[in-house]
Each structure stands twice: as C-alpha cells, then as structure tokens.
C-alpha cells in the first residue's frame, strides 16, 4: 500500500518503541502501546503547551478580536492585516491547535499499519495468551462486552478531556467537543483493539495535561473595558441638518 510505504520509517520506529517497552522493560503488549502513546505525547508536549496557551489567549482576547472584525468589516484586507498585527502583538498563534493533532495522525496511521502486519501479529500471538484487561487480542477487532467496554471507555475519556478544554470555550465549541465522541465512537468498533487502546490512552493524557496546565499556567488576564473600546469602530459623525429654504 502507498500509505504503508510512505509511513514505513515511522512504522519501524513505532515497532521499535513497542518492542523496547515489551522486551527490555517487561511491559505487556497493551502497556507497551500505552507507553508508545505517552512517549509520543511527551515528545510533542512543548507544542501542546503552546496550543493551550494560544487557545486561552484567543478566548481571553475574543472581545477585542470581535471588535476589530466589526471595525473593519467593510475592508477585508485591512481586517486581515489588523488581526495579524494583533496576534503578533499578543503572541497568539491561531493555528497552534492544529499542530499537535497533525503530528499525532501519522503515529496513529503507523500503529494501524503495524497492528495489521503479519509479523507483528505473529510476535503478539506467539507470546503466552495474557489478556490486557478485558482485551484478548490487540490486533483484532473486539466484539460483545469487550467492544462495549472499549466504546464506553473511549466516550468517557474523550468527554473528560473535552470538558476540561471547554471550560472557557464558547457555546459552539462546547457543542462540537461533546459531539465528537459520539461521532467517532462507531469507528472504534472497526479498529484493532490496540488502536482503541492508543486512542483511549491519548484521551487520558490529554485530560491529565489539561488539568496540570490549568493549575500551573493560568490564562492571560481578560482585557479591560478601555482596551475593548479602543478597538471598536468610532461612532459615525452626526448628520448635518439640511437648512430649510
């Protein structure tokens, strides 16, 4: 497959990390996948912290941003220039939230390819049959109660991470965050169980990370009314009354 060929270096790296935790550290295959997840999140942690700070800054400065958009609503080019200048002045990156997600996606795809490879399946199945919690085979789709448990764990952890992230989000953002677990839950049933373990572990990390950042990295102070008023469009000049002849 083309995707597998492109991702082969990353697939090999993911396999090496999992084998290290399994063979050298002594983790089970399931815990090795959890360790791969946490290692990935640790590597991109600086970018994740930057993402959280940018999101908080966007929320804190939302009134000023809205006022700028309203002030230059009839001049889109000027509006764009003013917004970029405002972002630079206040050290806001509006695209920071996309970077950690984009970096995790290749790892997710690489693990998917790895779990479907014959060699990795053979490695796991040649080990003594030790279940990872309620999962009997990490390379296969789960069924019955095990599948229900995986879906419930996914929804609960995804909602938990969303709740912490949505504490300062607007109504539309909160609705999206709460809807995402229900949208993605059906896909969990189609994945190998090991991939669901990766996804749930990612949610657990995100939840813990958000709690820690919220505790030790407070959001920037909200702008004062004077700062908000300074970005608003000036009132139109009063119309001159026409003199009656």
Q: In the chain, how long is the greatest CA-to-CA distance?
A: 104
pLDDT class of 219 with cuts at 50, 70, 90: low
pTM above 0.95, yes or no: no
Q: How far apart are alpha carbons 160 and 135 in whole angstroms? A: 23
pLDDT in tens, 13-54: 999 999 999 989 989 888 999 999 999 999 888 877 777 777
Q: Say if CB 109 and CB 7 are below 8 A apart.
A: yes
Query: What local confidence, expressed as pLDDT, does residue 71 receive?
Result: 81
The residue length of the chain stands at 245
Query: What local confidence, expressed as pLDDT, does residue 225 receive?
Result: 59
Q: How far apart are alpha carbons 232 and 156 in whole angstroms? A: 42
Here the tokens at position 236 are: 């139109």
73 or 233, which is more confident:
73
pLDDT in tens, 149-197: 888 888 888 887 766 665 555 566 667 667 777 777 788 888 888 888 9
Q: Say if CB 189 and CB 141 are below 8 A apart.
A: yes
Q: What percent of the chain has pLDDT over 70?
A: 75
């Amino acid at each position: 497959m083309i995707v597998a060929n492109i991702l082969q270096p990353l697939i090999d790296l993911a396999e090496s990390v999992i084998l290290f935790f399994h063979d050298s550290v002594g983790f089970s295959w399931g815990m090795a996948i959890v360790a791969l997840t946490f290692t990935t999140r640790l590597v991109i942690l600086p970018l994740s912290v930057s993402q959280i700070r940018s999101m908080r800054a966007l929320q804190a400065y939302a009134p000023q941003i809205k006022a700028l958009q309203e002030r230059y609503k009839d001049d889109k080019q000027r509006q764009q220039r003013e917004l970029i200048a405002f972002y630079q002045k206040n050290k806001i990156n509006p695209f920071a939230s996309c970077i950690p997600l984009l970096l995790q996606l290749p790892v997710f795809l690489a693990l998917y390819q790895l779990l479907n490879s014959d060699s990795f399946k053979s490695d796991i199945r040649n080990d003594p049959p030790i279940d990872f919690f309620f999962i009997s085979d990490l390379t296969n789709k789960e069924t019955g109660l095990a599948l229900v448990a995986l879906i419930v764990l996914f929804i609960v952890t995804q909602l938990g991470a969303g709740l912490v992230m949505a504490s300062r989000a607007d109504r539309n953002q909160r609705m999206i965050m709460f809807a995402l677990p229900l949208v993605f839950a059906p896909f969990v049933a189609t994945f190998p169980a090991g991939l669901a373990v990766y996804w749930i572990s990612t949610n657990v990390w995100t939840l813990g990370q958000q709690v820690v950042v919220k505790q030790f990295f407070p959001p920037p102070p909200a702008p004062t009314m004077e700062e908000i008023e300074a970005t608003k469009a000036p009132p139109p000049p009063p119309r001159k009354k026409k003199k009656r002849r």
